[in-house]
Chains A and B, each alone.
Chain A
Amino acid sequence: MDTLLSYDWFFIATSLVKTLVIIFGVILPMVSYSVYAERRVSALIQDRLGPNRVGFPTTLLGFKKDLQLFLGGLGQPIADGLKFILKEDFTPAHVNKFYFWLAPILVIVPALLTLAVLPFGSSLDFDFIFQRIFGHGFGPVKMVIADIDVGILFVFAISSLSVYGIVLAGWSSNSKYPFLGGVRSTSQMISYELSIGLSVIPLFMIFGKLNLSAIVRFQAEHGWLLFPFTNGEFTWQKIALWVPCFISFIIFMVSVFAETNRLPFDLPEAETELVAGYHTEYSSMKFALFFLAEYTAMIAGSGLVVALFLGGWHLPFIPDGAGNGGLEILHHLPNWIWGFVNIGVFFGKVSVLIIFFIWVRWTLPRFRFDQLMRLGWIWFFEIALVNIFLTAGVLALFPN
């Protein structure tokens, strides 16, 4: 009883710390700086410069110049955030007030909830501190907020809910263009949800489990799904499995683009056609929530791709937070350092994917409505189905 109580207390405390640090310390800064990255990268792609002026306002503290770190404009996200807070939060008279207020919440909450099951690191071992304070250790702490066995299914279940927010925003705005945006969002969802679900079934046939941290652990030991020879021994099965994995990756990646409403599938927003789509009537912080949700969903989607296909926190030759694997010589350093390196590796991979998202956005034109439906229903749905049988065949032909 005594140990159980102490365990519960420790579990709750670590979960709380993980949640707060990840959301306020990592995700929200990452969101604001991916907006900055979006603006800078888009500018460079279009032969412009982008925001390069705003520094940190040290002039307010009596210094002569604003502080400019590395490259200019790093204070821009802070200025943007302040602008959103200071603007008038206007609710038009013709909207359905309750749903109008509910919609931004329904968009941001699922986006943040999906982060709960993402394994953003291996584990952190602070027993050398706990030994001093409590007299006994607690063992390494897993770097995932909720280590649940439904894992990926949880992500699918929750992330689809954000569509309700978009539809409600479009409908409650009681105006033409937001309504069209909301309707588009619905039909977009039913086009990609099927293929995104079917595209990951081959992965479960390979991994044999749904728990995301177990999936990453599997990849750390047997090599990443897309780059099978990052770890583990050479087998013919790996080479044969690479083909269905790659097909799954393409379908999953494209569907994530659709899920996060990014170009080329930003039909619900479609600035050139629908003014601003579902959030036309929104202003100030309520608009900012839609904006934050889009980028949070982008981070969550990238995190999912990293965890499923790109080996999560694993990097060859780097040991995990419990001191397993990696080069022998690196084991001289304490384990918690490698725990932090693993976290850094994960978010590094996510950042690369976000840059890829931005890169694609400023390359491809928007798909037409029927083209997206066609892509989802005629191509990806069938390819994903065939891919399941292909994987099954490969697994039967090349037993481990």
Chain B
Amino acid sequence: MAYVVPRPKLTLAEKLYLPAIVAGLAITLKHFKKALFGKGNVTMQYPEQKWDASLPEHYRGAPTLVKDEHDRERCVACQLCEFICPPRAIRIKPGEIPATNKFAKVEKFPLEFDIDMIRCIYCGLCEEVCPEQAIFLRKDYSITGLTRAEMVHDKAKLYELGGVMDGLVHKWNPKK
């Protein structure tokens, strides 16, 4: 059955429109007064107040490199992240681990590992693709610099941001 939407019957006050204007002004005045005394506003004063505490677990901030519990670089310089990176922000120069090293069987490590943070789009594909669980997107979101060179994170910077993560991949662990 067809449903007929009833047309509202306007009262004289509604037709005059002026009372509605006054009512609207009263509403905005209420908000104005509330905000004026600091009760209504929901604005966060950014540099002083930060939302770090309420960042979700899955937050994708700056990509970082991590070391394992033996202070070994997890990265084996397979370059998968470099190849999958959509904006081509990652550049890796692989090197060979000398035979005398305890972890010689890992064979490769990154001599240089640069992430250009101007290019990075924080997509997290590098973290997804990494077979060694060496690269993680952490919660750092305020990456700033005054020069382009400053915005390129090199290996040292990436490890400094990443720190240590243990017990993720055990295949290189000699005891297990």
Contacts and interface: CB of A to CB of B under 8 A. Distances in A.
Interface of A: 41, 43-49, 250, 359-360, 362-364
Given A359-B28, A364-B24, A44 B36 contact: yes
B31 A45 contact: yes
5 contacts: A44-B32, A47-B34, A47-B40, A362-B28, A364-B21
B140 to A, nearest CB: 24
Contacts of A46: 31
A37 to B, nearest CB: 12
B28 A47 contact: no
B21 A49 contact: no
A360 B27 CA distance: 11
B40 A363 contact: no
A46 B35 CA distance: 8
B41 interface: yes
A45 B32 CA distance: 4
Contacts of B41: 44, 47-49
B25 A359 contact: yes
Nearest to B45: A49
Contacts of A359: 25, 28-29, 32
A363 B28 contact: yes
Given A45-B31, A45-B32, A362-B28, 18 more contacts: A43-B35, A45-B35, A46-B31, A47-B34, A47-B35, A47-B40, A47-B42, A47-B43, A48-B35, A48-B42, A48-B43, A359-B25, A359-B28, A359-B32, A363-B21, A363-B24, A363-B25, A364-B24
Interface residues on B, range: 10 to 19
Interface in B11-51: 18, 21, 24-25, 27-29, 31-32, 34-36, 40-43, 45
Please name the 7 residue pairs, one residue from A and one from B, whose CB atoms are nearest each other, closest first: A44-B35, A363-B28, A363-B24, A47-B40, A49-B43, A45-B28, A44-B32
Contacts of A360: 21, 25
Best-buried of B24, B27, B42 by chain A (most CB within 10 Å): B24
Nearest to A41: B32
B32 to A, nearest CB: 5
A41 B33 CA distance: 10
Contact of B31 (A44, A250, A364): A44
A26 B42 CA distance: 35
Contacts of B43: 47-49
A99 to B, nearest CB: 38
Contacts of A363: 21, 24-25, 27-28
Contacts of A41: 32
A48 B41 CA distance: 5
A232 to B, nearest CB: 29
Nearest to B30: A45
Best-buried of A49, A359, A363 by chain B (most CB within 10 Å): A363
Contacts of A45: 28, 31-32, 35
Contacts of B42: 47-48
Contacts of A362: 28
Contacts of B32: 41, 44-45, 359
